[in-house]
Every structure is written in C-alpha cells, then in structure tokens.
Amino acid sequence: MMLHPVISKLRGKLVVLASASPRRREILTNTGLRFEVVPSWFKETLDKTSFERPYEYAVETAKQKALEVAQRMRLKHLKNPDIVIGADTVVTVDELILEKPVNKEDAYRMLSRLSGKEHSVFTGVVIVHCNKRAGGETEHKVVDFYEETKVKFAELSEEMLWEYINSGEPMDKAGGYGIQALGGMLVEYVHGDFLNVVGFPLNHFCKQLGKIYNSCPEIKHKDLAMCEEPWTSVSCQSEKGVKPEISYFNNFDSVCNVVKPEDSKDNTEGLPQNIMELLDGFKASKTLFTASRLGVFDVLNVSGLTVEEVANRIDASLLGTERLLDAAVSLGLLYKLKCEDKLVYRNTDQARQFLVSDSPLSLHAYILHCNDKIWPLFTHLENAVREGTRQHERTFEKKSENGFKVAHFRTVHFMKAMHSIAKVTGRDVATAFDLSHFRKACDVGGCTGAMAYEFTKAHPELSVIVFDLPAVIEMRSHFQSVEEDSRVSFVAGDFFKDDLPKADLYILARILHDWSDEKIHELLSKLSKTCTPGSGLLLSEILLDEDRTKPSRALLQALSMTEGRQRSAAEYSNLIKKHGFSPVQTRYTGNMLDAMLFVKDVEA
C-alpha cells in the first residue's frame, strides 16, 4: 500500500510532524505529503528500565511527543491540527538502548559495542488523528506501532572508529551512526526496512494511515493525564516493510509546506498562523543569507564550536553571533548541544549537504545570488506589480547592454549560482527517463556543464555537447570538475543566432521560462528544423499545477516580471507540439526542476 490513495483526503488538512529530524522530514516530503513541522518540547526522560521491551520505550516516547504538540497547538498556537505524527528511533544491542551520544567518548563507547555485531533499530511511530466534536471539544484517536530492522556492523578498527567520530556525523544520531551517509560504510547488511534505520518506517506508516481513513477502532487509553480530552489508542505489531526507491537529495526546495485546515478559511479567532509565518518569512530568509555570507556553516563543518569560537572565526560580535546562531537553530539549520559541560553549535545534515560552500551539493553560491541580486530586486515588488515590468535598472541603477539575463550571465557570480542549482537538480533530471536509445545530446544554454556531467554519469553510452555564449564558455575554467569526462565537450555560440550542434537529443534546462513567446517559438522552430524524426527534446523547468493554487517557487519567481513566464506541463506540451514534437512522458522529480520528454514526429 502506498500513500497516494489517501493523499487527496489530506488536502486542506493540517498535518503536523512533531519532530525536528531532517531525515524524517525528507522521507515524508518525498511522498508528496504536505505538512508543518512543530518540534515537540517533551523531554525524553522516561525511565528505560521500566519498559520490558525496547520498542515499548520508543513507542511511548513518540506518543508523548505527539500528544504534547497536539495539546500545545490547541492551547498556544490557537489552531487544531487534523493529524500529528510523532516518532522516536532507538538502537539496541546486548539488551541496551543506545540513543544519541553526548560527546565523542560516548560515541566511541556506542560504536565499539556495535562493532562486528548484529543490532536492532526500533522506530516507534504515533499518529494522532484529531476530530472536532459538537461544543468545540476535540476527540483524539491514537494509532501507535513500531518497526524493527536488523543491522550488522563490520569489525571496526580504532582508526576507522575515530575517523568516523571525528567527522562529526555520530553526534546527532541514535546509536551514533547515520546509515544514509558516512555511517553506511560501517554496515555489512540490513534485514528489514532500510528507511526505518534512517529514522522513519515509511511503508508501515503508509499502511497505518490508510487504515485510519477506512476504519479506526476505539480503545480507551488510560495513561494520558497530561491531556484533558478523551483519547483512544490502537497498538499494532511490526510489519516488515521494503525499501522504496527514494532520493535523499531531491527535495531541498519543497520541505515543510504549510497547509491550513479547511475550516480556517474565514477564521477570525486568534492569530492566523499562516499569516504570521509569512510576516516573518523575510527574517528567516535573511538569517539563512547572512549565515551563509559570514561563513557560519563552513566554520561549523568540522566540529561543534562555542559561540565565542564562532564569533572569533567569522569576525563578528559575540551578541550578534549568538542571536544569529540561535535563530539558525530555531530554523532547523543548526543544532545546539551540550558537549563536555559547554554549549556548542553544529551543522545539521542538511546544512552539511547543502549549505557548506565546498559540499558537492552546495547551494551556497545560489544563496549568495539570492542575497545579492534577488533580494534587492524584490524590494521593488510594488513597482513591479504596478508597472508590470522588471525592476533591474531601478534596483541596480545601471543599464545592461542586452538586458538582465545576458548582463548577469557574464559574471562568475551568476554562473556559480546556476552551477549550484545544476549540481543539486542534475541527477534527478538526468535519471528521469530511459535515454538508452540516444547517443549524442546537446545541452542548449548548458552554462558550466554541471548538468551535462550528470547526464554522462547516468548514461554511459551518451556524450553531451554544452552549447552556450562565448563569454560563458571562456569562464568555464572556473568550474572544472574533478570528474572530468571526455564525453562532455563545449561549443561557443548564441542559440538564437548560430546553428545548433548536431545531436539526437536536445536538453533545454531552465531556458524557456526566461524568454518571451516570440523568442521561444524562434528557438523551438530552429530545434524542429535541426532535429530528424525520432530525435528527442528533454525539457526541464518548474512545472506549475493547472489551476495555480499549490505552493510553488515558480509563482513567486514570476513576480520578478521577466519577459518570460512559468507554465504547467499541459501548457508546455501544447507549446512544443506546435513545432512537431510529441510528448512521451512527464516526471515530477520533487526537486527544484521537473522534466518532460518529447520526440520529433515522423511528419511535422
């Protein structure tokens, strides 16, 4: 059973994840579920010795987390969630529960216990289903279950143990390791649900959520003194799941969408939480921009540091640094931990992957571009809306010889931003379709070649020509990949003025949305004349939903009033069919870019 059959029933409902874990957030986001993250304030102080079995401790901890959030949202946030999800993961070996290590020595003790042994990973999950009753009271139904996965570690040498510990990864992981990252190198085998070891048993969760919407038996729960309302509970034995195909890096831009409850449309009682979040949204963005500009994530990449140490390394005031770091913690970008009797700050998994400047999937350059170019541009949004024109000249007080796009494309700054997006999105775009019948591709407007390298890695039989402006090709030396591939070549030219290189697959990634309809038809007409029957056209853009109601970066991006516009899959399909191409397949990747594949008709 998958989540999709019930996803439509959750639209318009407020689903809450009572956990700050970026891993749980990633797994749930990849299902298409829209939810709000409200980390629980429940202190995990339950006496482990009072539970006969480890999974009982995990389930009870998850339950208390979920119930605390459900109660707090009603009393303090002044809104009632429809579903609250709580989870807790523990690692057990030799009948001992291992949670998160408190310091390096604790991590060493944990990993030494796991070395060469099979251990169990238990995740307890609770789904609190909230129903409003007459009189304004809320009835809660609690479904709880657990999942067990067996994991076997290899024999770990002292050198390997300390190398892994010094990477910093063990410090925020149950059992002291993360299987989805460097910790995967320590593992010999996994029996059971892989995602359960990551932190959330997705398959089992989907089954239980489906049962809630079919039938939910009511059994009184006696141990909920913290809540005044009646509760019901269903306990379920573990059902072994399978590892679904899921990408851990394809969802950076869609995490934690907030959906308001159906009955809150005209609600005037209390503070409208979604409006309050929008009011403070610019502060959150600027916190990310400033932390990136000052290099906070880079200095925290090796190990945890105190506020004094961070302030010294970024050359900032102690007061300002502390407030910036605490704000970043509240946004889920950093951890604040007690280590050896002092408070230290540490990068989260997402910060290590996407915010450290030299990370393979770093968005650092794009974040700086947003801070330096997009942020100032959007301060003139009122003028943009009134005039219906872009505000580049008003913002930057100078004219560009050929408009905003070309002027900024001729800077390393802009190329770095586009390079970082291509690195993050490239793998999902390149693997969206079976391209085994194509041999030579042309990445039109391919900039630094980052996308092209992802295509050659995914398709060994494919070579790719990157075709872009001479100034861009000249500056590509700033972006030479450590994984140079002779199958990627670069050709200089203007795709509006010059002939396109011969290929049997043309890639248009983040191209069409930038240009006017007239320019788009000019480019597509050229492609149609260049292509032979059976040639392919791979389009990669942010695809809008048909009615423009779902949260979308593209809708916000369109407010910059460039001459181009964003489109839905149907609109792109109708546009491209006019030039003799037939749509083959559309893929919503869950990443920053979606993909569509077209084939040139035999007779156009």
**Which residues are designated catalytic?**
88
Angle between helices 104-114 and 158-166 (to 10 degrees): 140
Counted residue by residue, the chain has a size of 604
Pairwise CA distance, residues 177 & 186, whole Å: 9
What's the alpha-carbon Rg for the chain, to the nearest Å?
26
Phi, psi of 373 (to 5 degrees): -115, -50
8 A C-beta contact, residue 339 and residue 102:
yes
Token pair, residue 294, equals 């000052």
Vertex 44 angle, CA 230 and 196, to 5°: 90
Q: Element (H or E) spanning 553, and its range? A: helix 553-557
Nearest to 538 by CA among 414, 445, 476, 469: 445
CA distances, 46 to each of 56, 70, 91 (Å): 11, 19, 16
DSSP label of 305: B
DSSP label of 561: -
Pairwise CA distance, residues 27 & 203, whole Å: 11
Q: Strand (E) positions, 104-263?
A: 118-132, 138-153, 187-191, 231-236
Nearest to 123 by CA among 208, 206, 59: 59
Is the C-alpha dihedral spanning 258, 261, 265, 270 positive or negative? negative
By three-state DSSP, how is residue 574 classified?
helix
Pairwise CA distance, residues 468 & 420, whole Å: 17
Q: 574: Cβ–Cβ under 8 A, 6 or more apart, which residues? A: none
Phi, psi of 472 (to 5 degrees): -70, -45
8 A C-beta contact, residue 231 and residue 224:
yes
Nearest to 118 by CA among 80, 153, 170: 153
Nearest to 2 by CA among 173, 245, 279: 245
Name beta bridge partners: 288: none
Q: Element (H or E) spanning 523, and its range? A: helix 517-530
Q: 193: Cβ–Cβ under 8 A, 6 or more apart, which residues? A: 147, 149, 201, 202, 203, 204, 240, 241, 242, 243
8 A C-beta contact, residue 401 and residue 446:
no
